[in-house]
Amino acid sequence: MRAEVMQGPSQTEVKLTYELMKTNFKCKMINMSSKLREDDLQKLRYYLEGVIPINNCSDSMDILRLLEHEARISWDNINFVKKAMGSITRQDLVEDLTKYEVKRNLTLLLDFYAKSNLGLDSNFCDNKLGMNMVASRLRKIMDSALESVKIRSICSTVESSRDLKKVLMALEEKMDEEPSLSWDDFTMLVIFAGEIITIASADEEQQESLLDLCTTAADELCSRMNARGNWNDFKNHVKEVHRFVQENIDSNHNLSSQEIAKVVQQFREAVFLPVGNL
């Protein structure tokens, strides 16, 4: 059984999530700015000529602020700045920005997953990043195994970010017995993290820590994803697993003509034949 659904809006939670995403984005831009050399700035100025009024910018932070002001970059879309860093041959910064994206996406995905389970507002930024679809597919995958997977047995001790980290590490250790972590294993870890966060946040008093738990889990998971592939690879794998699960559910719901005939015969024998003998 899933955690009991909690009713009511969560505007405070939505605001906290938005503020965290904005803060993380600004921290990443500051960090990237500190790594840009003078020759990088010269190349960047040339790259941005005609795109933004570059002459008004005195340093890299001015450039990034202007790009944000012109809606070229934002916390949920850093494609332009990634392309710019690639164009000035700073592949290290492209990789760093990609890691930021993965952690951001995993944090939001787990936030969606847990809040959907708890019946809380989980519509934050869905139109932009489409997290609700991925979370919905993961939840349906988990639903297909709820009867056979006793997730609560490994969730009952999770009350803090430290506890969550320990549980995820224990799960990873078991998976590390295999030669390498597969997409199936990684998907399993994400689902387990979502379920653990759901159960740990089931009480209204504990929901304030939900976002902290999502961030902790994302920290643990992002390096695994980066080692395996990228975000689109993960989404495609989830889509494929969900399709397989859904097909199995549909096939189980579709009775063959022989099964239908058997049901009719059993019903006839159980109900109508006794009536006819009265």
Q: pLDDT (tens digit, 9 = 90+) per residue, 72-91?
A: 999 999 999 999 999 999 99
CATH number for position 123: 1.10.437.10
Contact of 73 with 81, CB cutoff 8 Å:
yes
Q: Is residue 187 part of a domain?
A: yes
Q: Give yes or no for residue 209 having a pLDDT over 90.
A: no
Higher per-residue pLDDT: 96 or 253 = 96
Bridge partners (DSSP) listed for residue 49: 52
Of 44, 70, 89, which closes a domain? Answer: 89
116 in the same domain as 139:
yes
> Of 100, 116, 104, 125, nearest to 197 (Cα)?
116
Q: What is the pLDDT of residues 125-141, one digit of tens each?
A: 555 577 888 999 999 98
188 in the same domain as 174:
yes
pTM of the model as a whole: 0.80
159 in the same domain as 85:
no
Q: How many domains does the chain have?
A: 2
Q: Give yes or no for residue 252 having a pLDDT over 80.
A: no
238 in the same domain as 106:
yes
Q: What is the pLDDT of residues 1-51, one digit of tens each?
A: 454 444 443 566 677 788 889 999 999 999 999 999 999 999 999 999 999
69 in the same domain as 139:
no
Q: Using 50, 70 and 90 to split pLDDT, how confident is the model at 246? A: confident
37 in the same domain as 141:
no
228 in the same domain as 99:
yes
195 in the same domain as 220:
yes
Q: How far apart are the first and last CA of the chain?
A: 45
**Integer Cα distance of 209 and 157 in angstroms:** 15
Bridge partners (DSSP) listed for residue 74: 77
145 in the same domain as 235:
yes
3-state helix, strand, coil in the chain (%, to 5): 75, 0, 25
162 in the same domain as 49:
no
Report the mean per-residue pLDDT for the chain: 81
Q: What is the pLDDT of residues 180-192, one digit of tens each?
A: 678 988 998 899 8
CATH number for position 55: 1.10.533
218 in the same domain as 119:
yes
